[in-house]
Amino acid sequence: MTYPKIPLAQTVIQLCKAKNIKHIIISPGSRNAPLTIGFTNDAYFKCYSIVDERSAAFFALGIAQQLREPSAVVCTSGSALLNYYPAVAEAFYSHIPLLVLSADRPKHLIGIGDGQTINQKNVFENHILYSANLKLDLKDEKNIPVHEELPILKNLEDKFERLLGLQKDIQTFNEEEINTAINFAIVKKGPVHINIPLDEPLYETVNKLSVSPEVIDVSVKPNEIEDYILKDCLQDWNEASKKMILVGVNYPDTIDKKWLNELAVDDSVIVFTETTSNLHQNNFFPSIDQIIAPLTENEQKQLQPDILITFGGLIVSKKIKQLLRKFKPKQHWHIDEKEANDTFFCLNKHIETTPNEFFEGFLTKITHYVKSDYRAIWNSVKNKRLKKHEEYLSAIPFSDFMVFDKVLKTIPNNYILQVGNSSAIRYTQLFNVNKTLDVYCNRGTSGIDGSTSTAIGCAVVSKKPTVFITGDLSFLYDSNALWNNYIPKNFRIIVVNNQGGGIFRILPGHKNTENFDTFFETNHHHTAEYLCKMFGFKYKSVSDANSLKSALKSFYLEDSHPKLLEIFTPKKLNDEILLQYFEFIK
């Protein structure tokens, strides 16, 4: 087998292999050549070449999101590393394990005007779980740069022994740092950065490894709930007649159905689920905004819970955040192993465990249900809203609202649905999505910058086919995502093109002015057609209900190429139809 000659590169690669990090996304460069040589010459690794580092990092994020284990990105020195930052931030807030491996110049070449050099040490400081800044291997005598730790020694034998000792110390330090970083990514679920100084020559190879790094195993302590916490929770729970559970981003099939069923029959409990929660139960309350947007202030007050329990990731619905900040629950408990966001400014308890473990210890100890009409009242509201929802859909013209209804109803069973940010996820939240779909969206930072790349990374490793629904600005912004040789033939993209940032027409502002059109909505006349021709996608466009219905019939059929369906909607109608919707369903 071929290995890079540099011991540090060998060490990084061997420890990645020992930690079962299989998917390696490499962006081309010279300084990272030793890492590229090592990864690509070992059949254990599945290596991908993606030029655009921003896209590469989101592609890796999609892989890690699906496998729920770290994937790695590898780049050269300089500004290449900075292009990883959006995905690093998303991984940080979405708790997705991502390993960033950056090649760097040796320390003595930094800050002297050498090319392709920036200050890479701790560059992700505010959005990283761990930063490992490795030390440069020592070289033979004639190539050793001057270091403070290398005093002039009187004879070569002393000097040789000194160098061996220093190299051993450096090797031990590097092994410990690499182990620690990777273990953080695995256990704490988030991004870590390993900065790797590499000196020339970079392309030399050997047939035998020169180092055998120590593997430090992952250590995980179980989070057990203290008895007094459960006791306090049970006492408060049994006294409250209005309990609300709000579920944010959540992996499919992670909550035991018996606990969901238990919550669903308690008349004092309502469970609000976001589309990204991947939770379904007939007595739960999806489409949160549909239920609460039309409420009067008095009705909002009636909805105010005594106890709010939250779990899962970040919440999409602004309306539920506004309501619970205005009418705060008396108590807010958040269940999560890592952290608890005080989203509603009334957090009382952070229960540091998983929802399953909490419900196992909590629900089994509840001896009676509190008499309450809380769920019955809001279930009646939900049913009325659903009827008005269907009535409204039957009367509106072709628009974003109609498009999302038609598209979501025709996605085949057991697909993965990746959704872009801004309008796309907010429209999706207004509909009851097929229960067999697994739904994902980059809600850590809620950015539009890497949604397509993430969806493609997901599609590459998923056993299920993937469809991605996005807006035109998000799609165009991340168009380099299509510069990817690994896209499966069954991958599908739906672009809802309303010729700009349609979400800004819904927000307060002076619409239909030159300033608004240029700097907020960012009007444009671009389409996805020529991008599809360049990157080998089958392209179809529609602009009315009948052509959409016809196109969707064949869109998911097998083909020799991935497909993209672009749906053009009337931008000056979309906002009116959406705003009128909330008035209509009151």
- Please calculate the CA angle 182-188-191 and round it to the nearest 5 degrees: 60
Integer Cα distance of 26 and 60 in angstroms: 10
What is the rounded average pLDDT of the residues 139-143?
49
Predicted confidence (pLDDT) at residue 504 exceeds the cutoff of 80 = no
DSSP class of residue 466 equals E
SS (H, E, C) 201-266: CCCCEECCCCCCCCCCCCCCCCCCCCHHHHHHHHHHHHHCCCEEEEECCCCCCCCCHHHHHHHHCC
Residue 100 near residue 77 (C-beta atoms within 8 A): no
Q: pLDDT tens digits, residue range 81-94? A: 999 999 999 999 99
Q: pLDDT tens digits, residue range 311-346? A: 999 999 999 999 999 999 999 999 999 999 999 999
Query: Where do the structural domains in the chain lie, given as residue ranges?
Result: 3-198, 227-377, 396-584
Residue 441 near residue 58 (C-beta atoms within 8 A): no
Local structure of 294: helix, strand or coil: coil
Integer Cα distance of 277 and 252 in angstroms: 8
CATH 3.40.50.1220 fits 227-377, yes or no: yes
User: Taking all residues of the chain, what is their mean pLDDT, rounded to a whole number?
Assistant: 92
Integer Cα distance of 30 and 516 in angstroms: 45
C-alpha distances in Å from residue 584, one per residue of 386, 391, 403, 499, 579: 12, 9, 19, 26, 9
Q: pLDDT tens digits, residue range 429-448? A: 999 999 999 999 999 999 99
Q: pLDDT tens digits, residue range 95-113? A: 999 999 999 999 999 988 8
Integer Cα distance of 495 and 474 in angstroms: 9
Predicted confidence (pLDDT) at residue 268 exceeds the cutoff of 60 = yes
Tell me whether residue 193 is exposed, middle or buried, using C-beta atoms within 10 angstroms of its C-beta: 0 to 12, 13 to 18, 19 or more. buried
> Which of these, 494, 527, 532, 287, lies nearest to 410 by C-alpha position?
494
Identify the pLDDT of residue 147.
45
Q: What is the CA radius of gyration of the chain?
A: 27
Percent of the chain whose pLDDT exceeds 90 = 85
β-partners of residue 493 are 468, 564
Q: Which one is predicted more confidently, 152 or 54?
A: 54
Q: pLDDT tens digits, residue range 15-34? A: 999 999 999 999 999 999 99
H or E stretch at 99:
strand 98-104
Predicted confidence (pLDDT) at residue 150 exceeds the cutoff of 50 = no
What is the rounded average pLDDT of the residues 35-52?
98
189's tokens: 């679920």
Integer Cα distance of 556 and 549 in angstroms: 13
Q: pLDDT tens digits, residue range 166-219? A: 878 999 999 999 999 999 999 999 999 999 999 999 999 999 999 999 999 988
Buried b (16+ CB within 10 A) or exposed e, 368-397: eebebebbebbeebbeebeebbeebeeebe
**Which residues neighbour 495 within 8 Å (Cβ) at sequence distance 6 or greater?**
470, 471, 472, 475, 528, 564, 565, 566, 567
Neighbours of 490 (CB within 10 A): 17
H or E stretch at 312:
none
What is the rounded average pLDDT of the residues 381-387?
96
402's tokens: 């109609």
Predicted confidence (pLDDT) at residue 151 exceeds the cutoff of 60 = no
C-alpha distances in Å from residue 177, one per residue of 12, 73, 430: 10, 18, 47
Identify the pLDDT of residue 519.
64
Residue position matching structure tokens 């035991």: 256
* pTM of this structure: 0.93
Pick the CATH number of 396-584 from 3.40.50.1400, 3.40.50.970, 3.40.190.10, 3.60.140.10: 3.40.50.970
Strand duo 46-49 + 23-26: pairing: parallel
Identify the pLDDT of residue 95.
97
What is the rounded average pLDDT of the residues 377-404?
96
C-alpha distances in Å from residue 132, one per residue of 120, 164, 348, 560: 11, 23, 35, 44
- The dihedral over CA atoms of 52, 58, 64, 65, expressed in degrees to the nearest 10, equals -160
Give the relative orientation of helices 400-410 and 571-584 as an angle to the nearest 10 degrees.
80
Predicted confidence (pLDDT) at residue 153 exceeds the cutoff of 60 = no
Backbone angles phi, psi at 306, to 5 degrees: -75, -45
The sign of the torsion formed by the CA atoms of 161, 162, 168, 171 equals negative
Confidence of residue 522 (pLDDT cuts 50, 70, 90): confident
Residue position matching structure tokens 């290398």: 150
Strand duo 130-133 + 191-197: pairing: parallel
Q: HSE (CB half, 13 Å, CA atoms) of 368?
A: 8
DSSP class of residue 197 equals E
Question: What's the first-to-final CA gap in the chain, in angstroms?
Answer: 69
> Which of these, 218, 214, 224, lies nearest to 186 by C-alpha position?
218
Q: HSE (CB half, 13 Å, CA atoms) of 46?
A: 12
- In CATH, what number does 3-198 get? 3.40.50.970
Integer Cα distance of 318 and 366 in angstroms: 33
Residue 296 near residue 381 (C-beta atoms within 8 A): no
Same fold, 3-198 and 227-377: yes
Identify the pLDDT of residue 457.
98
Residue 420 near residue 407 (C-beta atoms within 8 A): no
Backbone angles phi, psi at 137, to 5 degrees: -60, 145
The sign of the torsion formed by the CA atoms of 421, 424, 426, 431 equals negative
Confidence of residue 503 (pLDDT cuts 50, 70, 90): low
Residue 349 near residue 329 (C-beta atoms within 8 A): no
507's tokens: 């927000």
